[in-house]
Each structure stands twice: as structure tokens, then as C-alpha cells.
Amino acid sequence: MLQKANLESDVLRLFELQRRFVYAAKRSSSDQRKAKLAKFGQTILAHKDDICDALHADLRRPAD
């Protein structure tokens, strides 16, 4: 039961962080948002194999 409480606490904390970030995101420029998206894309590509492995473990299907 402790894990469920921790999970709920973590989810609530993440929602609060996202709620706070909305205002900061509104004040960012388009160039700042583009840079963040580019960095996010690079991070995804850098961890592609890990992401595919995690999806396979969750869905039990091979990555194409």
C-alpha cells in the first residue's frame, strides 16, 4: 500500500509542477520553445533503444 501512496504523491507533485510551468511557458519566446523541442528530440533519439526496450517490455511486441 505504501507504493500506491508514493505513486499518488508523485503524480500530484508532477501535476503541480506542470501547473506552475504553464505560466513560465507562456512567457517564453518561440525561439526558446523551438530550442527546447530540439533538445527534447535529441534526447529521444539518444535514448531510442531504451525507449524501444521499455515499450517492448510493456506491450510485449517487437519494435519495428
Domain boundaries, the chain: 2-59
More confident of the two residues 28 and 49: 49
Dump pLDDT digits (tens) for 2-36. Answer: 577 788 899 999 999 999 888 877 888 999 999 99
Can you give the pTM of this predicted structure? 0.57
Q: Which residue has the cell 500500500?
A: 1
Structure-block grid coordinates of residue 42: 535529441
Sequence length of the chain is: 64
Query: In this model, does residue 1 exceed pLDDT 60?
Result: no
Q: What is residue 16's predicted lDDT score, i.e. its pLDDT? A: 93
With beta carbons less than 8 A apart as the criterion, state whether 63 and 52 touch. yes
With beta carbons less than 8 A apart as the criterion, state whether 37 and 30 touch. no
Q: What is the mean pLDDT of residues 46-60?
A: 92
